[in-house]
Structure 1
Amino acid sequence: MELLAKSNPELSLKEHIDDCLNIQKQLHQLIPNIPVGREDFWDLLSISMICHDLGKAHPEFQKKLKNENNNWWFQRHELLSLPFVWSLTLTPEQKNYISFSIAGHHKDLDKLFGFVSKCYQPKIDFGDDSDGRLNFAEEFEKIDFQKVSNLLDQYPIEISQSQTIKTSINVYDLVKQYKRQSVDLNSYSDDFFIKLLLVGATKQCDHLASAGIKTLNSLDPCDFDYLSDLKSPYLHQIGCLGINGNAILNAPTGSGKTEAAFFWLKNQMDCYGQGRVFYILPFTASINAMFERLNQKIDATPEKVGMVHGKLEEYLEQKFSEDYENPEMDETKRKQLTEEFKTLVTPVKIVTPFQLLKYFFGIKGFEKGLFELTGSYLIFDEIHAYDPRVFAQIIVLLRFVTQKLNAKVLVMTATLPTFMRIQIENAIGDHTFLQAEDSLYDSFNRHRVKLMTGRLRCHLKLIQEKLDVGKKVLVVCNTVAESQYVYKNLKSENKVLIHGSFNSEDRFEKEKQLKEEKTMLLVGTQAIEVSLDIDFDVIFSEPAPLDALIQRFGRINRKREKGICECFVFTERNKNDSFIYPEEEIIRTLDVLKKIELDQDGLIREKELQEMMDFVYPSWNEKEQKIFEDTICILEDFVLNELSPLKYTPESEDQYYEQFKGVKVLPIACSKKYRQYLENNQFVKANGLLIQITEPRFVGMIKNNDIERDYFSYEVKGKETVKDKFVYVIKRRYDPELGLLINEEEYGGKDNIGL
């Protein structure tokens, strides 16, 4: 009888090993630039794949796989694999690396040590006084050595005879040694990187093979063919084709920085070979838009572009429900797609920085992520958008991946203050700085700013006049409530409101509507600043810092076909937006705009933006500077002294997730629809009905009983199981056109919306 590795469906141990070796061979091609000074890294990984599940040959585990009565007693098959490793004809150092990666390919060292302490005798020769615990040597001896030997005869490794294997290690002492080493490991040593990357690669091979993935896609020369379709590429785009290594590109918004990035990427791959690619953007809307854009450019089958962000499953659910006749995506298909978007399958992934930063907090499984970053190519766009804490974390990331993981970095910017650029330059070291030519900046002059006294809401008549003469009008407010007020009081047959208080379904529909280019009025908050591919004639904006205004202006005359377009900025702030933007940044921005209005008749000259940015943002303020410095100090200390393979700490995980302040709530009017989705086991769609509010607002509202905890019961399809799911229900009105109306109470009518 052939040894099994898995059940439901049954998969032989040999088939699983071969699947893992198949992934290993592909990883060798796709991630060739391993930074460790060892020629045999890939051989170590190959042997790890051959041996990692040999402990499953235990007869009781085989019974378990066949759903037969068994006495497996919840043992760990990976520990029973270790004696085979230590019997190989390898050096002790090689055995140690392989054994370490196999021991931890399912559980961390704390859990493994807890297991061996509880379930096995501390010493193999402890005699009969086992205190009710299992004897590891006796358990290992139950394995049919001949079956394992016959299996291993098919691979290029040699093991000792069975009599010497069972005494080859003391598993208790071995795991104890690994646990101690994980604390003392110097994170800048070769030993650290070999263990780190071997653990990450072992987990990648095992997990991808177990998921049934056979092929990892690569970027091929033909995937860059679309670049040749550019009729007259800009000089900075062509310049990127000649850059080897790290680079910073400064070019105007809308000047083809994405194409420039792929010119740079093409040259890196020509020079250094394959590597996984990460295109890093700050916001979910940016990522969704860039994913769709790149998929159109890189027209490959299978798709070469994936993405990862916090709302990925909701996006896929909406996207594929729209694209296919079947209104509901098959659950298995959805899970498969989601995993493929998250894994090594796609060579290009569009992500938020948080998806990469979590690896530096030692989140469980971080070894897989750092392995994927090895020899990778990172493209940062809109890097100006982060607060001091996140920017500091990005600096730590840049320093680590460029200095320790052989990664190459391109940072692209149009509005990056000089003091931030200096931090980036120090982090990435040797680099090329490329600036778009002056003539290009001159050709991008397209906006004329007009400062308006008073508040925006007091000048709705002026805005309405622009709409009445057929102008496509963009209005940007600083708060959701203000945007809702303005939207309700302006008239247009084709108008859209966008802000952060819509559920996923309604937000997706609004973004679809914008793509149809029939919208004459778009009202929104800063949510419209990020990568929405829209082109309007005139903008009216509440006061905001200069970088935010420049992003907003970029949605006006985007294609530069309308001459010079008007950008109205109001000087008086909405009383409720003071917590959004610092007052000093608003004051300095208005000072700059007043000077432009006086000296240049309001014409914004693109080549002067850097000087303007440096005036408004000369440095962090005292509070921001402390946050920046403290964050770098704490995170770098953790990476150097605490980050260790197979060691996970709840404290560091908590520190990572503390950054995401907010609580998701369900508007009371959506309760019926939420229940229906749960009853149909459409959990992604149910979760998409939730809306995030700030933690302080949540605390205040729950104290006033404006938010209540509610339970929804549903039956799990295919199982005779009823589950309860709790959710916070907010007693505020929700309107698909306006979003969550935080100031309008709604205590009844849970079923108003849902059909």
Structure 2
Amino acid sequence: MKQILPGVKQTLMGPLAKSNPPQTIKEHIEEALEIKEKFKKAFPRIENLASAKNFWDILTTSIIFHDIGKAHNEFQNLLRGKKHRWNNQRHELFALPFIESLNLSEKWLVYLTVAGHHKDFDTLIRKIESYGSDGDNFELDLGGTEEIISFEKEFETNIPVEIVSELLKKFGYQHLKPVIHNPKRILVEFTRKHFKDKTEQIKLMLLAGAFKQCDHLASAGFTNIFNLSVDDFKFLQTYKLYQHQKDASSVIGNAILTAPTGSGKTETSLLWLQNQLKKTGNGRVFYILPYVASINAMFKRLEKEIPAKIGLLHGKLSAFIETKFENDDSVDEKHKEIIKNQFRTLVSPFKIVTPFQLLKNIFALKGFEKNLFEWAGGYFIFDEIHAYNPKVFAQIISLLKFATKYLDVKVFIMTATLPSFLKKALETAIGNFTSLKANQKLYNSFNRHRIIVKKGLLGDNLSLIQNHLEKNLKVLVVCNTVKQAQLVYKQLSSPKKLLLHSAFTAQDRSNKEHQLSNNDITLLVGTQAIEVSLDLDYDVIFTEPAPLDALIQRFGRVNRKRQKGICDCFVFEDRNEADKFIYPNKNVIDRTIQILKEKEFQNSGIIQESELQEMIDFVYPEWDLEDKEEFDKTTSLLDYFINNELKPFIYSEKQEEDFYEQFDGVKVLPSTLLSYYRELLEKNNFIQAENLKVQISSRRFYALLHNEGIDIRREAFENIETHKLKEQKVLVINRNYDSELGLLLDIEKKEDIEESFL
């Protein structure tokens, strides 16, 4: 691309769209149109879905007109480094008079799509209100006296209509004469509009999303949009298939699978997906897991089989990429940023995500239109659907109702154990579906665990655990709190032992997961974090009491490959005082212990995998009253919002606050790591600095904040590129940190302990 020097007239190459590197509006439009053509292959069913046979034509028109407002003389002066009077006006508003002149039946779709492609409508309306009105003479003291002219006058004065007309001719639009008007009335009317026709609302959201995707991908320089193909799943042919896997490979449409842990549920979902791609067509895929550790492990697993097409998305994406490439000198910071952007955009056709990455879009968080477009005609695969609290489960139900009904999303849900009343809610949400279940013969072959219920506390029976260690068994110990896990870990002896819980830095967590992958850890002590580690296979487990579904997940880390006969699972009856904060429903715990005791005296205590559903329904016979109220309230409010208030270009700060409030966790920096954190900031190693933080519950955070256990600091550093002084807010917890034990919540840093004795 040729360099354009400041002062060169815009008629030489045409008006600029951006200056660094210089690119004309025409060139940017052409790049965005190229992306659109690739979208037509990636989203082949969009026209049927949007009930608009002319979807791609409307999108094409929107792309052609979206940046012509940048031809504004003062904006061009700004791009060329000349003296200017642009004053942060909105270029998209100056394109609207040209769109108003179009002879199109649905030009309102183009008008709104172009108007909202950068800013929400409330922001645009405020910007329009900063102009004067025709016939009035306003003055504002800006260090001199300047007349505030009307929007119409600004357009007439600074938009070179002839130059824009010449540009539009190159895209087939002849003799357009702009209809000069103030856009405020149209935008205000839209903010108040209630869509009676839902298909119109969906069409506009999809157009807005498709347009923003084209614009952003073109601006970011992405030239390749990957698509999945049936051949990507050839590796599944190497597996000897169970019957439920064969069944899934011929299903078309929604499906719910029930099968034992370790029976190839992931492969089953991919066989289902392969058939959808073959029979129904292309679409983006979202594989949904509840925990970051599970997502990272699944990414590593699938990336080997389908390279370059698997992405992942969660709140710790930067930390994951930093850790993944920390020893690879060929991958610099720029390359890491490209990988992150590829994962975040729809360049990757298969993303592994947390449900929050999907749910935020039905709360109308900024940019949600782009993501709704990415869902259109796509495929959702839900793994570990049992893992969510009633509020999040309710949000997933609302998500499924919306996505399946309006966006033609096909859903595959899989679980080992799910209470019948929750399964019924899922069935109702997705409509027509095929039920898949592993056969009785397979269930019988998966019997691998013997229940032993022990009286007392786990912490009072460490000699029993130590005896098993001395028999050279690989022992797994699961506690309900970080503090208890740390205490137990310190008191047990093993040459190869490891502690795993949520209160480690990202780097230490990664190191521990790497150690576990070597398969030589003989004692693993941890919390619920162990429930989501995918590749553990131990000989015996000792666990504190927990709800049955959580215990089943813990048991699944013992004799995982079914090569050890029948292995013992010890469950202790009594709870520590702090356990009630983790599992507050005592009745669920009591029923869990009751059903486990009953099974202990049947069939020598061996758990029959085929009876797990019956056991789950005993523990969870119906909704807990408070949980049901939470579920009903959440679905009712969210369904109403989706059906009546979810509109493109309108973002609600209240909705955003409501969404993020549900996260039970705050990231804090241990005070003992503060000096290292400062050192990393000075080097501008921001991701590594962020990786030093650990997460604690909101409840504990506010308790510590109230008792001066948390300091809110602002650390200053120099940006190496701009040499500007920056400030970073950080929450510092006045507690010690140990790489082996994690955050020591009940131990203050050493200096404070010493001072307390002075």
TM-score norm. by structure 2 comes to 0.94
Partner of residue 314, structure 1 = 319
- Residues 236-284 of structure 1 deviation map (CA, whole Å, 9 limit, x = unaligned): 1111111110110111101001110011001111121111000000011
Q: CA deviation at 1:311?
A: 0.7
Report how many residues are paired.
730
Instruction: Tell me whether 1:372 sits opposite 2:377 in the alignment.
Output: no
Q: CA deviation at 1:672?
A: 1.4
Q: Distance in 2 between matches of 1:557 and 1:108?
A: 54
- Residues 270-329 of structure 1 deviation map (CA, whole Å, 9 limit, x = unaligned): 12111100000001111111111111222x3xx10101111111111111114x136xx6
Q: Distance in 1 between matches of 2:487 and 2:413?
A: 38
- Residues 627-670 of structure 1 deviation map (CA, whole Å, 9 limit, x = unaligned): 01111111111111211111111111111011013322111111
SS at match of 1:748: helix
Cα RMSD, aligned residues only: 1.6
Partner of residue 152, structure 1 = 168
Which of 554, 571, 574 does residue 572 from structure 1 map onto? 574
Q: CA deviation at 1:335?
A: 2.1
- Residues 140-189 of structure 1 deviation map (CA, whole Å, 9 limit, x = unaligned): 3333333323322332x32434xx3143x4423332333332xx234x62
Q: CA deviation at 1:609?
A: 0.5
Instruction: Tell me whether 1:350 sits opposite 2:355 in the alignment.
Output: no
Q: Distance in 2 between matches of 1:533 and 1:372?
A: 31
Maintained 8 Å contact 1:475/1:539: yes
Q: Distance in 2 between matches of 1:508 and 1:373?
A: 31
Which of 734, 739, 757 does residue 731 from structure 1 map onto? 734
Which of 48, 57, 82 does residue 71 from structure 2 map onto? 57
Partner of residue 185, structure 1 = 195
Q: CA deviation at 1:8?
A: 1.2
Instruction: Tell me whether 1:165 sits opposite 2:175 in the alignment.
Output: no
Q: Distance in 1 between matches of 2:712 and 2:200?
A: 50
SS at match of 1:540: strand
- Residues 543-566 of structure 1 deviation map (CA, whole Å, 9 limit, x = unaligned): 111101110010111111111111
Q: Distance in 1 between matches of 2:714 and 2:127?
A: 36
Partner of residue 656, structure 2 = 653
Partner of residue 7, structure 1 = 19
Q: CA deviation at 1:37?
A: 1.3
Maintained 8 Å contact 2:672/2:737: yes
Instruction: Tell me whether 1:697 sits opposite 2:697 in the alignment.
Output: no
Maintained 8 Å contact 1:113/1:179: no
SS at match of 2:253: coil
Q: CA deviation at 1:389?
A: 0.4
Alignment of 1:628-643 (within 5 A): 628-643=631-646
Q: 1:635 to 1:470 in 2, by over 3 A?
A: same
Q: Which amino acid aligns with 1:566?
A: D
Instruction: Tell me whether 1:325 sits opposite 2:321 in the alignment.
Output: no
Q: Distance in 2 between matches of 1:388 and 1:267?
A: 32
Q: CA deviation at 1:700?
A: 2.0
Q: Distance in 2 between matches of 1:386 and 1:529?
A: 13
Q: CA deviation at 1:227?
A: 0.8
Partner of residue 208, structure 1 = 217
**525-534 vs 272-281, greater mean Cα deviation:** 525-534
Q: Distance in 1 between matches of 2:432 and 2:670?
A: 52
Q: Distance in 1 between matches of 2:190 and 2:44?
A: 28
Which of 468, 481, 484 does residue 483 from structure 2 map onto? 481
Which of 602, 606, 624 does residue 603 from structure 1 map onto? 606
Which of 268, 274, 299 does residue 291 from structure 1 map onto? 299
Q: Which amino acid aligns with 1:686?
A: A
- Residues 96-139 of structure 1 deviation map (CA, whole Å, 9 limit, x = unaligned): 10010000000111111111111253xxxx23646633333333
Partner of residue 19, structure 1 = 31
Q: CA deviation at 1:747?
A: 5.6
Q: Distance in 2 between matches of 1:719 and 1:158?
A: 43
Q: Distance in 2 between matches of 1:213 and 1:199?
A: 19
Maintained 8 Å contact 1:87/1:160: no
Q: Distance in 2 between matches of 1:292 and 1:605?
A: 32
Q: Distance in 2 between matches of 1:239 and 1:730?
A: 53
Q: Distance in 2 between matches of 1:211 and 1:251?
A: 43
Partner of residue 753, structure 1 = none
Q: Unpaired runs of 5+ in structure 2?
A: 1-11, 140-146, 754-758
Alignment of 1:669-680 (within 5 A): 669-680=672-683
Alignment of 1:134-533 (within 5 A): 134-141=149-156, 142-155=158-171, 157-161=172-176, 164-167=177-180, 169-181=181-193, 184-186=194-196, 189-230=198-239, 232-298=240-306, 300=307, 303-322=308-327, 324-325=328-329, 330-533=332-535
Partner of residue 4, structure 2 = none
TM-score norm. by structure 1 comes to 0.94
Maintained 8 Å contact 1:89/1:158: no
Q: CA deviation at 1:707?
A: 1.9
Q: CA deviation at 1:421?
A: 0.4
SS at match of 1:325: coil
- Residues 467-525 of structure 1 deviation map (CA, whole Å, 9 limit, x = unaligned): 22221111100010111011111111211111011111110110011111111111100
Q: Distance in 1 between matches of 2:657 and 2:709?
A: 28
Q: CA deviation at 1:13?
A: 1.3
**111-120 vs 381-390, greater mean Cα deviation:** 111-120
Alignment of 1:12-161 (within 5 A): 12-34=24-46, 35-91=49-105, 94-121=106-133, 126-127=134-135, 129=137, 132-141=147-156, 142-155=158-171, 157-161=172-176
Q: Which amino acid aligns with 1:190?
A: T
Q: Distance in 1 between matches of 2:182 and 2:124?
A: 14
Q: CA deviation at 1:611?
A: 0.4
Q: CA deviation at 1:710?
A: 2.5
Partner of residue 723, structure 2 = 720
Maintained 8 Å contact 2:128/2:151: no
Maintained 8 Å contact 2:256/2:433: yes
Q: Unpaired runs of 5+ in structure 1?
A: 751-755
Maintained 8 Å contact 1:714/1:722: yes
SS at match of 1:744: coil
Q: Distance in 1 between matches of 2:188 and 2:711?
A: 48
Q: Which amino acid aligns with 1:306?
A: G
Q: Distance in 2 between matches of 1:663 and 1:723?
A: 23
Maintained 8 Å contact 1:84/1:159: no
Q: Which amino acid aligns with 1:539?
A: I
SS at match of 2:185: helix
Maintained 8 Å contact 1:364/1:648: yes
**497-506 vs 567-576, greater mean Cα deviation:** 567-576
Spell out structure 1 runs of 4+ moving beyond 6 A: none
Maintained 8 Å contact 2:230/2:277: no
Q: Distance in 1 between matches of 2:42 and 2:280?
A: 11
